[in-house]
Amino acid sequence: MRSGGRLPLLLCTLLFASPAAAVDGVIEINQVRALAGGVTATDTPGFPVTIDVGGSYRLTGNLVNPNANVNTIEMRASLITLDLNGFSITGSLSGCSWSAGSGVSCSGFGAGKAIEGSIGCPFGNTVRSGLVYNTASDGVDLCAASRVENVQVLGAFGTGIQVSESGIVRDCTVVLAYVSGVRAQSGLVVDTTIRDTGSAANGAFSYGADGLSATVATRNLVLQRIWNNQYFRNGRSLGTSSCDGVTC
């Protein structure tokens, strides 16, 4: 009887022994998991959280990375979906402000990105549904055929959101980005608000929506207080947008 009584408990222990994997097969990430490591095979304790296997990942809590020179999440494989699940990724940046004369100024900047997905250019990755706050460098940086959807970037000493060839940025908001709001190369930027971006110190490279070296298609953007009125570069409009309240 005693042995049989322990069997269900043993089975439960085995079933729930791996805290990184959710019941539905989605791998969960939170501050405790990030500091412990082991989210994937090459993920070491602390930041960055390294995702080296394609699949589905989901935040189950906020991430706070105090190191300005270390990425918070690195997507090192293709075909990854990262659901921020309404949670936030907070970096070390502080004191961002906007002025008409000089644009955006910030303190606490460094080389660390909130989500780095461009190393080696993995393709087909998606980031969606959450907040990136006060990141020391770029907010979200993905490579080819990637998507960023329903993400807010509030404070970035770099570009708020960047995707490479055939990337899509949809239903996003970028506020207080030192360089540019959104950069997309031969991609699509739609239904997105970009406000308080660019700086006099970085004027030659600061735009609201930047097509980099290729043409980016845009539709239904709201751009406000872009430094020196540099709303677009290499943009091809598929529909109306608003630049400081004027159709553009």
Which tens digit of pLDDT belongs to each residue from 122-143? 999 999 999 999 999 999 999 9
Please indicate, yes or no, if residue 210 is contained in any of the structural domains. no
Radius of gyration from C-alpha coordinates of the chain: 20
pLDDT digits (tens, 9 = 90+) for 137-182: 999 999 999 999 999 999 999 999 999 999 999 999 999 999 999 9
Domain-located, residue 195: no
Q: Which tokens sit at 77?
A: 């494989």
In a domain, 232, yes or no: no
Confidence of residue 185 (pLDDT cuts 50, 70, 90): confident
Nearest alpha-carbon partner for 47 in 104, 110, 2 = 110
**Residue 197 counted as domain residue:** no
Backbone angles phi and psi of 105, in degrees to 5 = -130, 145
Q: Is residue 55 part of a domain?
A: yes
Instruction: Please tell me the predicted confidence (pLDDT) of residue 2.
Output: 39
208 domain residue, yes or no: no
**pLDDT band per the 50, 70, 90 thresholds, residue 45:** very high
Q: DSSP H helical segments within the chain, as ranges?
A: 2-15, 31-36
> What is the span of the domain harbouring residue 143?
17-189
Residue 163: its pLDDT value, please?
Answer: 96
Q: Per the domain annotation, does 32 fall within a domain?
A: yes
Q: What's residue 208's pLDDT?
A: 95
What pLDDT, on a 0 to 100 scale, did the predictor assign at position 236? 87
The band of 22, judged by pLDDT with boundaries at 50, 70 and 90, is low
Predicted pLDDT of residue 34? 98
**How far is it, in rounded angstroms, from Cα 58 to Cα 14?**
22
Lowest mean pLDDT among 8-12, 94-98, 224-228, 233-237: 8-12
- Mean pLDDT, the chain, as a whole number? 90
Q: Which two tokens stand for residue 24?
A: 């539905």
**Sheet of 182-184, strand order:** 49-51, 73-75, 115-117, 140-142, 161-163, 182-184, 209-210, 232-233
- Between CA 49 and CA 55, with CA 54 as vertex, the angle to 5 degrees is 95
Is residue 8 one of the residues assigned to a domain? no
> In the numeric block, which tokens belong to residue 115?
């989500």
Determine which of 4-13, 31-40, 67-76, 225-234 has the lowest per-residue pLDDT on average.
4-13
Residues 59 and 150: their CA atoms lie apart, in Å, by 15
pTM summary value: 0.89
Residue in 157, 156, 174 with CA at minimum distance from that of residue 221: 174
Rounded to an integer, what distance in angstroms lies between the CA atom of residue 197 and that of residue 207?
7
Q: How many domains does the chain have?
A: 1
Nearest to 72, CA basis, from 38, 108, 109, 112: 112
Classify 221 as helix, strand or coil: coil
Name beta bridge partners: 183.
162, 210
Residue with tokens 């989210």: 39
Q: How far apart are the first and last CA of the chain?
A: 78
